[in-house]
Amino acid sequence: MQLLKDKVALITGGSRGIGEAIVRQFAEMGCDVAFTYRSSGESAENIVKEASVAGRNVKAYKSDAANFDQAGELVKSV
């Protein structure tokens, strides 16, 4: 499927559970991925390393989606 090829996705809560699975799947499908984590930085860095093997740009950002100011800064960063 080429639906996500060369697109960019921003995924909140991408360092665990369903969010992590989405990060990995999107990268495998040809999408560059930016994802957030709140406290699990080590896990986020491992996901970046592993998902980047698919040849896509994958970046982790420390951000709390419930914090309006942090969400605004995240959008500017990505």
- pLDDT confidence band for 1 (50 / 70 / 90): low
Backbone angles phi, psi at 60, to 5 degrees: -110, 140
**Amino acid identity, position 14:** G
**CATH entry 3.40.50.720 includes domain 8-65:** yes
The domain segmentation of the chain, as residue ranges, is 8-65
Backbone angles phi, psi at 12, to 5 degrees: -85, 140
Q: What is the pLDDT of residue 12?
A: 93
Q: What is the pLDDT of residues 19-48, one digit of tens each?
A: 999 999 999 999 999 999 998 889 999 999
Place of tokens 């860095």: 45
Q: What is the pLDDT of residue 53?
A: 87
Pairing of strands 8-11, 32-37: parallel
Distance CA 62, CA 9 (A): 16
